[in-house]
Structure 1
Amino acid sequence: MNDGAVRWGPSTARLIALATLRVFVGWHFLYEGLVKLFNPHWTAAEYLAQSQGPFSGVFHWLVAEPSRLALVDALNSWGLVLIGLGLMAGFLTRYATLAGIVLLGLYYLCHPPFPTYASSLPAEGSYLIVDKILIELVALWVLLVFPTGSVVGLDRLLIRKQSAGDIP
């Protein structure tokens, strides 16, 4: 029976597209984290040391002390893995998305693609302000605004459990 009311909400195609985007971005985070974890020689030292831009002093400070660098390396690797798992499974999606935005924001600020900053790091192309880091950050922002974990993901189970707990 159609009561004539307009139903607002994501269509099935939009939901599938957003959930697919979430899983793909999650896979990218997970894979990058695992590559770093399983490579005993990986470190963020060179990336941080070559930082340019208004916040380069902070990144140079992080790399200057071996114990700080070891903490940054561990937080970066494990952060990528946990964010990736959260996004792929749709588990604690809002937190995973926010953490991903923060991490990508730090990457972007470490090496902003502005004309006055030349990087000696290998690049896949020529970027001006918008690079793949910023694009992935914006993709996460879209996922934050249009969450899918509560519909297609483990967050749905959490919501059900919370709702069941509210009933006396």
Structure 2
Amino acid sequence: MSSQEVRLESTVAGFTASGRLHTLSVWFILALRLMMGIAFFQSGIGKVLSGEFSAGGYLTGAVPSNGSPAADLFVAMGQTEWFVAFVNVAVPWGEVLIGLGLLVGALTRLAAFWGAFMMLLFYLGNWEVSHGYINGDFAYMLVFLAVAAFGAGRILGLDAYIEQYEVGGQPLVERYPWTRYLLG
């Protein structure tokens, strides 16, 4: 194996998957991070600047009409005034912050987790399975999870520097190992 080749191996429930990354893999991982960062930032900033985003009608009307298995949950959320007020702020600003985190590669795993969570909710809310269970929302969820798994924030991102920031004479991630779940 060359010094540029990286071997991956993981065992889950007794099954082992293994393979080798190509040297170009780093660029594709970076491209995925930046693509999702741009997509979420653009979507969020449009909602924030217009000030017209409102989730109430979508939660109580659109979701039940598409046959989503989570329709009752979405309706309950849409009928809860404080929750709709929260969602009206959380979705646009969440998209902006997730997008910014991915664009600069800071708190990348945290941003990717929340991006994947939002895409799961969008998948359930935008339920359309006439062409199968895999749609754009589901695919984006998997992209977010890949960005997190590959530690994409270390690739031309601020997480590489944040992880090495010294606290009490130790790099941040060595002093506080739990930060690995947020950075990378």
TM-score by length of 2: 0.74
Residue of structure 1 in register with 2:182 after alignment = none
Shift of 1:104: 0.5
Unmatched tracts of structure 2, length 5 or more? 7-20, 172-184
Cα 1:94–1:157 shift into 2, 3 Å:
same
Residue of structure 1 in register with 2:180 after alignment = none
* Contact 1:62–1:72 (CA under 8 A) maintained in structure 2: no
| 2:129 aligned with 1:102 | no
Taking only the aligned residue pairs, the percentage that are identical comes to: 25
User: What is the distance in 2 between the residues matched to 1:131 and 1:65?
Assistant: 29
- Taking the TM superposition and a 5 Å limit, the aligned residue runs for 1:1-168 are 7-9=4-6, 11-49=22-60, 50-52=62-64, 53-115=68-130, 127-162=131-166, 165-166=169-170
Q: Which has the higher contact order (CA 8 A, sep 6+)?
A: 1
Shift of 1:151: 3.2
SS in 2 for 1:69: helix
Residue of structure 1 in register with 2:11 after alignment = none
User: What is the distance in 2 between the residues matched to 1:91 and 1:12?
Assistant: 23
* Contact 1:114–1:128 (CA under 8 A) maintained in structure 2: yes
User: What is the distance in 2 between the residues matched to 1:161 and 1:61?
Assistant: 44
SS in 2 for 1:112: coil
User: What is the distance in 2 between the residues matched to 1:140 and 1:91?
Assistant: 14
User: What is the distance in 2 between the residues matched to 1:7 and 1:164?
Assistant: 33
Deviates more, 1:98-107 or 1:136-145: 136-145
Aligned length: 153
- The one-letter amino acid of 1:89's match is V
Cα shift readout 1:120-158 (whole Å, capped 9, x = no counterpart):
xxxxxxx43111111111111221221221232000111
TM-align CA RMSD: 2.2
SS in 2 for 1:149: helix
User: What is the distance in 1 between the residues matched to 2:115 and 2:151?
Assistant: 14
* Contact 2:44–2:92 (CA under 8 A) maintained in structure 1: yes
* Contact 2:5–2:23 (CA under 8 A) maintained in structure 1: no
TM-score by length of 1: 0.81
- The one-letter amino acid of 2:156's match is V
Shift of 1:48: 1.4
* Contact 2:44–2:96 (CA under 8 A) maintained in structure 1: yes
Unmatched tracts of structure 1, length 5 or more? 116-126
